[in-house]
Amino acid sequence: MEEITTHTLNKGLKSTLMDWGFNDTYAAYLTDFSILIIILFVSIIVYYLAKFIINRILRRLIEKSPGKWDDHLYEQRVFTRMAMLLPALLLKVALAPSIAKYPEAIKYIDLGLQLYIVFIVLLVIVSFLNAVCHIYGELDVASSKPIKGYVQVGKIITFIVGGITFVSILIGQSPMALLAGLGAMSAVLLLIFKDSILGFVAGVQLSGNKMLNIGDWITMPKYNADGTVTDISLVTVKVKNFDNSVSFIPAYAMVSDTFQNWRGMAESGGRRLKRSILVDVATIRIADAGLLENLKTKKLLVEADGPSGTELTNLGLFRVYILDFLRNTPPINQEASLMVRILQPTEFGLPLEIYAYYLSPDWADFEIFQSRLFERLFAILPEFGLKAFQRPSGSAVQISAEIQEQEKGG
C-alpha cells in the first residue's frame, strides 16, 4: 500500500514539475528531494504531536491518578524519550520505497536510523531504571534494602549491550561474533570494572546480611567517617559526618574492613552510659557518726546495709547515693541494666564505674545529661570525705617541694 501511495505521489509531482517546464532528469531529482522533505516534515509533526499529547493530555491523566509510579515515569522522561522513536520508525518505513533509486543513500540513512534507534532505546531503558529507583525509594523497605547499586549494575549492562550493538551495526557483524571476541578481553574488562564488581558483591552482602542501611550512624576511623549514611551506591557509601563534612567510603571496604554501626543503640531506645570516677584510695574510710550526720543534714544519706559483720564506708555511701539518684532520674532507662560498681584498683586510683542507659538516642541530649551528671557527682564527692584522683602537676608539685624544703629546714 505504501509503495502504491509513494509511487502515486512521485508520479504526480513529477508530472507537475514537467508541466512547469523542467526536463525529465531535473523533474525526477526535484521529485525525490521534495518527497524526502515531505517525509521529514511529517516525521517532525508526528514527534511534536506525540510530545503535545504526552505533556498536555497524558500529564493531566497522571496528575489525577492516585498512584505515584506514573509520576516518576513522567518525571524521568520515559514517555518523552519513547516519543523520539516515532520519527525514526516512520523514516525507516517510508524512506526506502520513496528513494528506491538511490540504494547507497538508503544504506547510509538506514545505518544512521539504526544507530539513532539504539541510542534512544538506551535512553529509554536508563530513564526507566531511574524511575524504578525512585518508585522503590518511596517504599518502607528502601532504607534497609536499597537497590541503587543494582540499578547501577543494570545501567552498566545496558551500556555494554548498547555499545556492542553500536559496533556491530557499524561494522556489519553479528553481536554474538563480537561477544565471542570479547572473551579474550575478559581480563582487561575485569580490571576496568574491578571497583564496580567488588562494589556489587559488597552491596549484595551488605543488603543480605542487613549490615548497613540508609540513615544508620556508623563510625569508621580509617576513612574519618563518623556520621549518618545518606547514600549507598554501587561503588561508594556516602556518610555525612557530624561536623557536616562528607566522607566517601568504597563499598567493598565496608565488607573487607571493620566499621561500627550504632543502629542497635537507636533501636533499643537509648544510649549506653559507661564512665568511671577515679577515687583517691587514701580518702576511703569507715563512715563515722559525724559523716553520717552531715550527710543526713544535707539530704545526701541513703539508707544502706552492708554485709554482715562489716561497717559502711564513705565510698559505699557515695555508691549507694549515685545508684539511688539514677533510679529516680526519668531520662535513665529503668528497664535496662543499671549499676554502680567498683573496678580493679589501678595506679591512678580506684575506678567507680557508672553503667546505665539513657533513654533518648539523641547524641547532643546524651552528652548534656552525662556532663551535668558528672559535674554534680564531682561537686558532691567532697561531702562524702572523698577526693578524685589527680596526678600532681604544675603549682601542686611546686608547693609540695616548698613544703618539703621547709620541713628539712625546720
Domains annotated for the chain, with CATH where assigned, are: 2-138 (no CATH), 205-262 (2.30.30.60), 265-384 (3.30.70.100)
What pairs with residue 354 in β-bridges?
275, 340
Residue 309 pLDDT grade (very low, low, confident, very high; cuts 50, 70, 90): very low
Contact at 8 Å (CB) between 301 and 295?
Answer: yes
Cα 258 to its chain centre, rounded Å, is: 18
Of 279-293, 341-355, 391-405, minimum mean pLDDT range: 391-405
Q: Is the pLDDT of residue 386 over 60?
A: yes
* Greatest Cα-to-Cα distance within the chain, rounded to the nearest angstrom: 140
pTM value > 0.85: no
CB burial of 38-63 (b: ≥16 within 10 Å; e: otherwise) equals: ebeeebeeebeebeeebeeebeeebe
Using CA atoms, how far residue 109 sits from 32, 41, 93, 104, 244, in Å, is: 15, 16, 12, 9, 54
Q: Is residue 385 classed as helix, strand or coil in its secondary structure? A: coil
Q: Is the distance from CB of 98 to CB of 36 less than 8 angstroms?
A: yes
Of residues 263 and 329, which shows the higher confidence score? 329
91 to 168, 314, 326, 407: CA distances (angstroms): 22, 97, 81, 111
Average model confidence (pLDDT) across the chain: 77
Percent over 70 (pLDDT), the chain: 72
Q: What per-residue confidence (pLDDT) applies to 27?
A: 57
pLDDT at 2: 43
Whether the CB-CB separation of 251 and 232 falls below 8 Å is answered with yes
Residues 408 and 293: their CA atoms lie apart, in Å, by 40
| CA atoms of 98 and 102, how far apart (whole Å) | 9
pLDDT tens sequence across 183-220: 556 666 666 667 667 777 777 667 666 677 788 888 88
Residue 308: pLDDT band by 50, 70, 90 thresholds?
very low
Closest C-alpha among 175, 362, 347, 114 to residue 262: 362
3-class SS of residue 260 = strand
- Look at residue 321 in the predicted model and tell me its pLDDT: 92
Statement: residue 3 has pLDDT above 60 = no
Q: Over the stretch 213-256, which tens digit does the pLDDT of each residue have?
A: 788 888 888 888 888 888 887 678 889 888 888 888 888 788 77
